[in-house]
Amino acid sequence: MHIGRTRFRRQILTEFAAPKDKKSGKVVIFCAGVPGAPEKDEVLEYFARKGYWAFFPRYRGCWESHGKFLKHSLEYDVFAVIDAMQKRFKDFWTDKSYRVKPEHITVVGSSFGGPAAILATLDERVDKAVCISPVVDWVAEDKDDPLENLYKLIRKAFGGVYRIDKKNWNRLKDGDFYNPLPHIDKFDKDKIMIFHAEDDTIVKYKPVAKFADKLGCKLTTFEKGGHLSSSLLCSAASFRKVERFLHK
């Protein structure tokens, strides 16, 4: 299957896969973990074959996208994609133009991208969020493993891949920026589904379980599995669960 490449808002490089029925109004947007390689071909193709327009944007300030990383909370990159897909956009590989008229929008967020998916549900255009091993509280993450360590790793191991100012990064540990927990009373529990493994050592299970319990949202727990990724959704069992959730 062809994976297209386009750029939204003249900044956000986005890969996409189109369904066979180009008039489909089903849309899924993938928000990746950080750091990590921008590789989502498997899930893009899988969802496109299921009839979805599947998009994988690189956050502003990451990889091929322009801008500064974390200058804005990452759900605003999701909103930019939603706005732009409804206008004409061109695949750089084929020069073909497309336009999507979304009827049902799902945001899938993994790990660092989990807050983007959860926070995006506060926008009425987003129908559902499916979250895999998501961060739900940066304050808890910082206590467990200081975010300063992750910042240093990103700078050393990824260099210019993430263009980030330290002051923007430091906003995470304050808990008021790009953080779902302070907004928990605003979320609709029926719009959020979470997958998490109890043995995850990257994003610990306990804060996520407490968040899901307080919110009352759907939580699928695996005893083992480690730090899960969006490829989990390509299994028939997981996809059936997601489909039932999306059509509730």
Compute φ and ψ for 64, nearest 5 degrees. -85, -5
Question: Domain spans of the chain?
Answer: 4-242
Could you read off the pLDDT of 134-165 as tens digits, one per residue?
A: 999 999 998 888 999 999 999 999 989 999 99
Q: What is the pLDDT of residue 94?
A: 97
Tokens of 134: 């998501």
Could you read off the pLDDT of 184-230 as tens digits, one per residue?
A: 999 999 999 999 999 999 999 999 999 999 999 999 999 999 999 99
In this structure, how many other beta carbons lie within 10 angstroms of the beta carbon of residue 127?
16
Q: Does domain 4-242 have CATH number 3.40.50.1820?
A: yes
Q: For the chain, how big is the Rg over CA atoms in Å?
A: 17
Sign of the Cα torsion 234, 237, 242, 248 reads positive
Q: Which residue has the tokens 């993994």?
A: 110
In this structure, how many other beta carbons lie within 10 angstroms of the beta carbon of residue 19?
18
Could you read off the pLDDT of 76-124 as tens digits, one per residue?
A: 999 999 999 999 999 999 999 999 999 999 999 999 999 999 999 999 9
| Residue 6 and residue 26 in contact, taking contact as beta carbons nearer than 8 Å | no
Residue 20 pLDDT > 80, yes or no?
Answer: yes
